[in-house]
C-alpha cells in the first residue's frame, strides 16, 4: 500500500526515533517514563496522544486491531463470532472508561507505544494497524514473551481489557455454554 505524505513523514520520524532509542526500547521507555515516551512517540506518529484519560479515534483503532488479534478464533472449530461483529471493542472501551483518569491515561499511552512498536521491535517498520494478521500475531507474541517483565505486564493489561470486552458479550457465551445462572436452591437458611 502506498504511503501518503503524512505517513511518509511519520515513517521517517519514527525511524529516527527507533534508531535513537536503539535496541532496548523497553529500557528507553523506563528511563524517560511512560507518559513522556508516549508523548514523543505520538508526536513522531503525527497523532494526538489522548489527554485527560481519553482515547483518540486512532487509539481506539489500535485497541480494536489488538482485540481482533487476540480474539481471532477463526481456526477454532466453534461458532465464536468476530470481535468487530459483536460490539467487543465498545465493551472494552466502556470497561476502561470506569478506570480513574490516571489509569485510563496509562492505557492510552500503552496503545501509543503498541501502535508504534513495530518500528523498534519488528517484524517490519510499520504501524501495528498496518501489519498483516500474521505479522500482528508475531508482534503481539513478542510483547507477550518479552524478556523485560514490564513489557509482559503491559501486554497483560491490554489483554485483560480486550478479553473482558470480547467474552463479556453474550454472543460468545453459547460456544462455551456459559449462562447467567440463577441458582438452583431455595435460599440457604430459609428452607429449614
Partner 1 sequence: MGMKPSASVGDGGVVRAAVVVVGLGAGGPMAFPVWACAGRDVVALELGDAMGPGEMTRREEEMLPRLFMEGASRATEDLAIRVLQGKGVGGSTLHNTNLCKPLPREIVEWWANDWGLEDLLDPQLDADFADVMNLLGVHEVPDDRINRNNALIARGVEALGWRGGRLMHNRQGCRGSGFCELGCPNNGKQNASKVLIPKAIRSGGRVLTGARAERVLVERGRAAGVRAAIVDPHTGREKGTFEVRADRVVVAASATNSAALLRASDVPDPLRLMGTNLHLHPGAYVAGVFDEDVRSWEGVPQAQECTEFLKLGPGDGPRAWIVSGAAHPGAVAGLMPGFGAQHGRDMLLYKNLAILIVMLHDESSGRVAPGRGEGVHISYSLSRGDWAQLAMGMNEAARILLAAGAREVVLPGAPPRRLATMAELDARKLGARDVAPHAPSLVAVHPMSTLWMGADPRRSVVDPRGEHHRMPGLFVADGSLFPTSIGGPPQIPIYTFGRRVARAVMG
- Give the residues lining the site for partner 1 (CB under 8 A): 69-76, 78, 80, 91, 94-96, 98-103, 107, 137, 140, 144-145, 149-150, 152-157, 159-160, 163-168, 172-173, 175-178, 180-190
CA distance readout (Å), 159 to 93, 98, 150, 166: 13, 17, 14, 11
> 35-40 long-range CB contacts below 8 Å, 24 or more apart?
35/105, 35/109, 37/109, 37/113, 38/108, 38/109, 38/110, 38/112, 38/113
CA distance 186 to 117: 55
Query: Measured in Å, how far apart are the chain's first and last C-alpha atoms?
Result: 72
C-alpha cell read off for 83? 470481535
Cβ contacts of 169 within 8 Å, gap of 6 or more: 81, 86, 87, 88, 91
Amino acid at each position: 500500500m502506498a504511503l501518503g505524505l503524512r505517513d511518509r513523514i511519520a515513517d521517517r520520524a519514527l525511524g529516527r526515533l527507533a534508531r535513537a532509542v536503539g535496541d532496548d526500547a523497553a529500557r528507553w521507555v523506563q528511563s524517560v517514563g511512560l507518559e513522556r515516551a508516549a508523548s514523543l512517540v505520538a508526536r513522531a506518529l503525527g497523532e494526538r496522544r489522548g489527554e485527560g484519560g481519553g482515547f483518540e479515534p486512532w487509539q481506539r483503532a489500535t485497541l480494536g486491531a489488538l482485540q481482533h488479534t487476540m480474539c481471532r478464533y477463526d481456526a477454532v472449530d466453534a461458532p465464536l463470532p468476530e470481535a468487530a461483529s459483536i460490539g467487543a471493542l465498545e465493551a472494552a472501551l466502556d470497561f476502561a472508561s470506569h478506570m480513574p483518569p490516571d489509569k485510563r491515561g496509562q492505557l492510552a499511552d500503552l496503545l501509543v507505544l503498541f501502535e508504534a512498536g513495530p518500528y523498534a521491535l519488528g517484524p517490519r517498520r510499520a504501524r501495528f494497524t498496518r501489519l498483516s494478521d500474521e505479522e500482528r500475531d508475531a508482534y503481539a507474541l513478542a510483547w507477550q514473551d518479552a524478556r523485560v517483565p514490564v513489557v509482559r505486564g503491559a501486554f497483560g493489561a491490554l489483554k485483560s481489557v480486550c478479553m473482558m470486552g470480547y467474552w463479556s458479550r453474550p454472543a460468545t457465551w453459547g460456544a462455551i455454554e456459559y449462562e447467567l445462572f440463577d441458582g438452583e436452591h431455595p435460599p440457604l437458611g430459609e428452607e429449614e
